[in-house]
Each structure stands twice: as structure tokens, then as C-alpha cells.
């Protein structure tokens, strides 16, 4: 460590306490991303315990021109939360900032610090008699700060929207180390540019989120989950339309999974007993939240599924008998990502397409990829209700998956993203850009949009000290 490096580490230790500045072997969990696609090297990890400490850390780093990588649960899927390989960046972990600052039952809001774990937030809301609806597979370890910084989606977006829609206010430490207190909890505020929406989804490149005021919802009287085998993706889309019509605002989630994705879960986690996966090419998972009663919800679901059977949209279906069964069905859906890891390295594409065009998109992309790479396998699943597919590619069976991905990822993704652009879709629906998609953005975002983004970055972080090289190239 150079003298300058030692000086900055000592300065940070003076701010947060020596025990909250990690170096050496303690850094491992902070330097590698969840997918093991990026292995960085940090100067140190600093773990502030308050907004004031975050501000002082940012000021100290800005004065020394040392760049910072904000990190929450480190569950991001685009390698945006780990340091680069230079050994000069400071990881700013928000995990110690995990207090509930306020619950306002009448305003139906909760204010928590950025390091609050999402699952704890759901539980805290539940104990207060409310629902906090953001829900995703990593909820046991991701943080609300990370959720907002990535504008996370998950499985209840159909009804409640993305993380952005759940956020009524933010507290942010700017790149200069000033604190912006925007924790208003207001539902209406048209006093100029919307700073909150600027920071949401900015992936740590514009400011450090230290706290947020979030919407709470009334708990539904009943939640019901159905699993159905559907012959085709067209049928799944028609069923989604039917679900909107029959269930209205009660429709909270609509997920789709192809046979290969479910086959991977069956192969690697046979104890989960995946229902119906060999019956049809696709299965869907539908969730309904009812304000009246379980009997009412069941009636709605049964009516809809009867009609779907008659029209041939559904080949087989079950409605979970109880919460345990519903949980088991969701667990199967959430296990696809892990089953893919068990199967070996893969290429992920988190894309969105207008729902009406999804079957055509998949047909075209499947055909182009199958022609270019014999034997590749399609793990296609995701949030059909939001037009968001996880169109992932697994290497052909029996070959070295890591080598296959290293050799062919660029071309595979080029085929997928070119098809996405043809259908006017997005190359990142919910995971963000991070580092992995950085080089793809200029080909799929208009030069005007990119220039505006650069102007914003330059204005808010002129020395490029906050998560440099993520979202926009340095
Ligand atoms: P991190 O991974 O630590 O960071 C993510 C980004 O946010 C980085 O750029 C980081 O610099 C920045 N950041 C973190 N905290 C702050 C802060 N306080 N201030 C400023 N910037 C910050 N995502 C979805 O959208 N939908 C899903 O359904 C979904 N399912 C997943 C399932 C699994 C099994 C896994 C592993 C991931 C999944 N994800 C999903 C991705 C991931 O969980 C989300 O992106 C999550 O929001 C990241 O939160 P985190 O606290 O782990 O953030
Ligand atoms: C999900 O919806 C996540 O489960 C992860 O967004 C998607 O593994 C993936 O590609
Ligand atoms: Zn997802």
C-alpha cells in the first residue's frame, strides 16, 4: 500500500472507526459479484453507520480523488457492485445502515435506511399491518438501497410497479459529500425536476442512497396462486389478457417458464417436485390478491381457468390449497436462477418486449441462435405480465460451459439484442447495465439519450468518482 493509500485508509478509519474499515483477507465477499463474472480488488471496504459518516467518507474520498463503489447486498446480476481490478477503489458498504426511521400508518409509508434487507422490510411492514410488495429471489440478502439503485422489478410489478413506483422519497449523499434530504413521503410534488427519479436506477453512479421513504399497501384479505400448463407462448399471452380481464386489479403476478428451465429445476432439485413440467412447452404461475375473501378469490380463479380450458389455452392447472403450497410453487420459480448455476456458466439476457410481440420475438431469436450454435439450450422464463423475459442461453450439453461462454457470449448476445432492438425492446428490463452490459448500451440507446445521460453524470459527478465505468463508460 502506498503512503497516499495508507493515508486515505487512516482517514476513513478516523471517520467510521478502525473496525469498520476492512482490508486484506476480509475483502473477499465484497470483491466478487454474485454470478462470479467479475473479480475486483479494493483498496478497502468502508462500512459507515450513519448518513453523516457516509457524507464524511465521500468528502474524504473526493478530496483525495479516490473513487467509490456503493454496495448493498452484492446480489446484482450485472457486475456493478464490485470494485475494478486496480486496487485503488473504496467499496462503500451500506449494510450497517439498517434502521427503521419511521412508520406513518396514516400516510401509509415506512422510512428505512439503505442497508435494510428487503425481506426484513416485508416482515416489518407485515408486523405493522401492511404489505410491502417488492418481491424477488434475492430478497433474503439484497438491500432496499440496492433495490432502488437498480430500480428492481421482481414478481409483483403487474400490480404494484417497480421499486421506483414504491418510492416516495430519498435521502442521498451527493458526489461532493452533501446530504440531500428528500424524504418527503409526498405523493404529489411538482416543484421542478424530479431528483428522486434521477437517483432511482442510477446504479451508484450519481449519488449514494442512504435512506428511503416507501409506500405501504393494505394487506389483501387473501392471496392465491395458480400453476398452469400452457401449450404455447401465444396461449400464455392470451391467458395473460384473460387474467387482466377477469381479475382486474387483483392480478398481482404473471410468470412464465419454459420446459427446459423447469427441467433444470427438476434435475438439480428433484425434491421440489415441479408440477406438469413435461406436459406442455410452457407453464405459468399466476398470483391473485383479493380484497374480499379467499372464497371470492377462488371463485375468480376457477371461473377464469374454466374459460381458459374451454378455449384450449390451458392443458392442466392447479390452484394452491394453502399458503404452504403457494410458497412451494413460488420456490420452484425462484429456483430457476440457482438451477442454472448448477448446470454451469450461462449467458443472461434480461430483456423487455411489448407483450404482443413476445411470441414472434422468441421464435425469431430461437431460430437465429439455433442456426448459429448447434445444440444450445434455451432457459426462457420471466415476468410475462411485465413483458420481461429472462432469455438465457445454456451451453450445449456435455461441453465445457465456461469456455463456450467465453468464446461465444458476444455473438450470442449480439443476435439476441439485435432482435430485441428490431422489436423496439430494451436490453435491460430490471437488472441494470452495470459493467456487463456497458459496451452494449451505445448500440441500443439513441446517441441523444446517451449524450443527455453523460451531461447529467458530468454535472452531478464531475470527477467521475462514483462507480466509474458503470452504466456509462469512463
Ligand atoms: P448490490 O448488488 O449491492 O448493488 C447493485 C447496484 O446498486 C450497484 O451498481 C451498486 O453500486 C448500487 N448500489 C447498491 N446500494 C446502493 C446505495 N445505497 N446507493 C447507491 N447505489 C447503490 N433483480 C430484479 O430486478 N428482479 C428480480 O426478480 C431479481 N431476482 C434475483 C434473483 C437472484 C437469485 C439474484 C441473485 C438476483 C436477483 N435480482 C433481481 C438482482 C438483484 O437482486 C437486484 O438487482 C437487487 O436490487 C440488488 O440489490 P443489492 O442490495 O444486492 O445491490
Ligand atoms: C428472476 O426473475 C431474476 O428470477 C433472475 O431476475 C433472472 O436468473 C435470471 O436470469
Ligand atoms: Zn426477474
CA distances from 417 to 48, 182, 360, 364, 382 (A): 39, 37, 14, 12, 17
DSSP state of 222: E
Rounded mean pLDDT, 446-470: 98
**How confident is the model over 253-302, as pLDDT tens digits?**
999 999 999 999 999 999 999 999 999 999 999 999 999 999 999 999 99
According to the 3-state scheme, what is the secondary structure of 245-308? HHHHHHEEEEEEEEHHHHHHHHHHCHHHCCCCCCCCCEEEEEEEEECCCHHHHHHHHHHHHHHH
| Three cell numbers, residue 278 | 413435461
pLDDT tens for each residue of 297-353:
999 999 999 999 999 999 999 999 999 999 999 999 999 999 999 999 999 999 999
- pLDDT confidence of residue 454: 98
CA 390 to centroid of ligand 2, rounded, Å? 6
129 and 212 share a domain? yes
Residue 52 sits in a domain whose CATH number is 3.30.43.10
Does residue 48 have its Cβ closer than 6 Å to ligand 1?
no
Indicate the number of domains in the chain: 3
For the chain, what percent of residues have pLDDT higher than 90? 97
Q: How far is Cα 198 from Cα 234, in angstroms, rounded to an integer? A: 36
Of 218, 243, 261, the one marking the end of a domain is 218
Query: Is pLDDT of 179 > 90?
Result: yes
Res 158: pLDDT: 97
Indicate if 194 and 209 belong to the same structural domain: yes
Average pLDDT, stretch 77-87? 97
pLDDT given for residue 451 in this prediction = 98
Q: Given this model, what pLDDT does residue 5 score?
A: 86
87 and 105 together in one domain? no
Inform me whether the pLDDT recorded for 474 exceeds 90: no
**Boundaries of domain holding 112:** 100-218
Cβ pair 227, 285 in contact under 8 A:
yes
Q: Are residues 323 and 228 in the same domain?
A: yes
Q: How far is the CA of 275 from the centre of ligand 2 (A)?
A: 20
Beta bridge partners of residue 154, listed in sequence order: none
Are 66 and 162 within one domain?
A: no
- On whether both 105 and 213 belong to a single domain, the answer is yes
Element (H, E) at 43: strand 42-46
Sole residue written with cell 391467458:
239
203 falls within a domain: yes
- The tens digit of pLDDT for each residue in 348-395 reads 999 999 999 999 999 999 999 999 999 999 999 999 999 999 999 999
Separation in Å, CA 326 to CA 86, 257, 331, 353: 46, 16, 9, 28
First to last CA, the chain: 25
Residue 263 in any domain: the answer is yes
Minimum-distance ligand 2 atom for the alpha carbon of 379: 10
**Vertex 392 angle, CA 391 and 397, to 5°:** 140
Cell readout for 33 is 459479484
Domain CATH code at residue 280: 3.30.70.2190
Over residues 81-93, the mean pLDDT reads 97
The reply to whether ligand 1 has any atom less than 6 angstroms from the CB of 91 is: no
To the nearest 10 degrees (0 to 180), the angle between helices 294-310 and 233-247 is 140
What is the spatial distance between Cα 414 and Cα 76, in angstroms, rounded to a whole number? 22
Give the CATH number, domain containing residue 185.
3.30.465.10
Are residues 239 and 172 part of one domain?
A: no
Q: Is residue 181 part of a domain?
A: yes
Distance 323 CA to ligand 2 centre (A): 23
Q: What percent of the chain has pLDDT above 70?
A: 100
Domain-ending residue, one of 93, 109, 144:
93
Q: Which residues neighbour 107 within 8 Å (Cβ) at sequence distance 6 or greater?
A: 185
Torsion angle (degrees, nearest 10) of CA 27, 30, 36, 41? -60
Residue 157 and residue 226 in one domain: no
Q: What pLDDT is recorded for position 282?
A: 98
Last residue of a domain, one of 162, 190, 218: 218
Residue 369 lies in a domain: no
What is the pLDDT at residue 355?
98
- What the block records as the C-alpha cell of 44 is 478497502
The confidence score (pLDDT) of residue 394 equals 97
Task: Taking residues 13-39, report their average pLDDT.
Answer: 95
Statement: residue 26 has pLDDT above 90: no
> What confidence score (pLDDT) does residue 95 get?
98
Q: Is residue 35 part of a domain?
A: yes
Q: Are residues 80 and 56 in the same domain?
A: yes
The pair phi, psi for residue 18, each rounded to 5°, is: -60, -35
Site to probe by mutation for ligand 1, drawn from 71, 207, 437 as the one with most ligand atoms within 8 Å of Cβ, is 71
Q: Which of 381, 385, 416, 432 to mutate to test the pocket of ligand 2 (most atoms within 8 A of CB)?
A: 381
Residues 176 and 86 in one domain: no
Per 3-state DSSP, what percentage of the chain is helix, strand, and coil (rounded to 5)? 40, 20, 35
Q: What is the pLDDT of residue 217?
A: 98
Q: Who contacts 3 (Cβ-Cβ below 8 Å, separation ≥6)? A: none
- Whether residue 206 sits in one domain with residue 138: yes
| Stretch 447-474: mean pLDDT | 97
Q: Is residue 230 part of a domain?
A: yes
Is 226 in the same domain as 328?
Answer: yes
Nearest to 253 by CA among 392, 383, 395: 383
> Of 99, 102, 200, which is closest to residue 145 (Cα–Cα)?
200
pLDDT in tens, 447-458: 999 999 999 999
Residue 387 counted as domain residue: no
pLDDT in tens, 414-423: 999 999 999 9
Q: Is the CB of 430 under 6 A from ligand 1?
A: yes
Task: Please tell me the distance between residue 100's alpha carbon and the centre of ligand 3 in angstroms.
Answer: 27
Domain membership flag for residue 29: yes
Average pLDDT, the chain: 97
Q: Ligand 2, atom 8: nearest CA belongs to which residue? A: 337
Burial-class residue 398 by CB neighbours within 10 Å (0-12, 13-18, 19+): exposed
- Where on the phi/psi map is residue 464: left (φ > 0), alpha (ψ -120 to 50), or beta? left
25 has a pLDDT exceeding 90: no
Ligand 2 first shell, C-beta below 6 A:
137, 337, 348, 382, 390, 392
Amino acid at each position: 500500500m502506498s503512503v497516499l493509500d495508507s493515508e486515505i485508509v487512516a482517514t476513513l478509519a478516523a471517520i467510521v472507526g478502525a473496525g469498520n474499515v476492512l482490508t486484506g483477507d476480509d475483502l473477499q465477499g465484497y470483491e466478487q459479484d454474485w454470478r462470479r463474472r467479475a473479480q475486483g480488488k479494493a483498496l478497502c471496504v468502508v462500512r459507515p453507520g450513519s448518513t453523516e459518516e457516509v457524507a464524511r467518507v465521500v468528502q474524504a474520498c473526493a478530496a483525495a480523488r479516490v473513487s467509490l463503489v456503493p454496495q448493498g447486498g452484492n446480489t446484482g446480476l450485472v457486475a456493478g457492485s464490485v470494485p475494478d481490478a486496480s486496487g485503488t477503489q473504496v467499496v462503500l458498504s451500506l449494510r450497517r445502515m439498517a434502521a427503521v426511521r419511521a412508520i406513518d400508518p396514516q400516510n401509509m409509508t415506512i422510512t428505512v435506511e439503505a442497508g435494510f434487507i428487503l425481506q426484513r422490510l416485508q416482515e416489518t411492514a407485515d408486523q405493522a399491518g401492511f404489505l410491502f410488495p417488492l418481491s424477488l429471489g434475492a430478497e433474503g440478502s439484497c438491500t432496499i438501497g440496492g433495490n432502488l439503485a437498480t430500480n428492481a422489478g421482481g414478481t409483483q410489478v403487474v400490480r404494484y410497479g417497480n421499486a421506483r413506483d414504491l418510492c416516495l422519497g430519498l435521502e442521498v449523499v451527493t458526489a461532493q459529500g452533501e446530504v440531500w434530504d428528500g424524504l418527503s413521503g409526498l405523493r404529489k410534488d411538482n416543484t421542478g425536476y424530479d431528483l428522486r427519479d434521477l437517483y432511482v436506477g442510477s446504479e451508484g453512479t450519481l449519488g449514494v442512497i442512504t435512506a428511503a421513504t416507501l409506500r405501504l399497501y393494505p394487506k389483501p384479505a387473501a392471496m392465491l396462486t395458480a400453476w398452469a400448463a400452457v401449450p404455447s407462448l401465444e396461449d400464455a399471452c392470451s391467458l395473460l389478457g384473460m387474467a387482466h380481464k377477469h381479475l382486474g386489479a387483483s392480478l398481482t403476478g404473471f410468470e412464465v417458464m419454459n420446459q427446459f428451465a423447469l427441467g433444470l429445476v427438476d434435475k438439480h432439485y428433484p425434491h421440489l417436485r415441479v408440477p406438469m413440467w413435461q406436459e406442455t412447452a410452457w407453464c405459468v404461475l399466476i398470483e391473485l390478491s383479493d380484497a374480499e375473501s379467499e372464497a371470492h378469490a377462488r371463485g375468480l380463479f376457477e371461473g377464469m381457468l374454466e374459460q381458459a380450458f374451454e378455449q384450449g389455452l390451458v392443458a392442466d392447472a392447479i390452484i394452491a390449497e394453502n399458503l404452504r403450497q403457494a410458497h412451494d410453487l413460488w420456490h420452484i420459480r425462484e429456483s430457476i436462477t440457482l438451477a442454472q448455476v448448477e448446470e454451469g456458466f450461462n449467458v443472461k439476457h434480461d430483456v423487455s418486449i411489448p407483450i404482443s410481440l413476445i411470441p414472434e420475438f422468441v421464435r425469431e431469436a430461437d431460430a437465429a441462435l439455433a442456426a448459429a450454435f448447434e445444440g444450445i439450450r434455451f432457459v426462457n422464463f420471466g415476468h410475462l405480465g411485465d413483458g420481461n423475459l429472462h432469455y438465457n442461453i445454456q451451453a450445449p450439453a456435455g461441453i465445457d460451459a465456461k469456455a463456450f461462454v467465453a468464446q461465444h457470449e458476444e455473438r450470442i448476445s449480439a443476435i439476441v439484442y439485435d432482435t430485441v432492438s428490431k422489436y423496439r425492446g430494451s436490453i435491460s428490463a430490471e437488472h441494470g447495465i452495470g459493467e456487463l452490459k456497458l459496451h452494449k448500451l451505445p448500440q441500443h440507446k439513441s446517441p441523444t439519450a446517451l449524450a443527455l445521460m453523460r451531461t447529467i453524470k458530468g454535472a452531478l459527478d464531475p470527477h467521475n468518482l462514483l462507480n466509474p465505468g458503470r452504466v456509462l463508460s469512463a
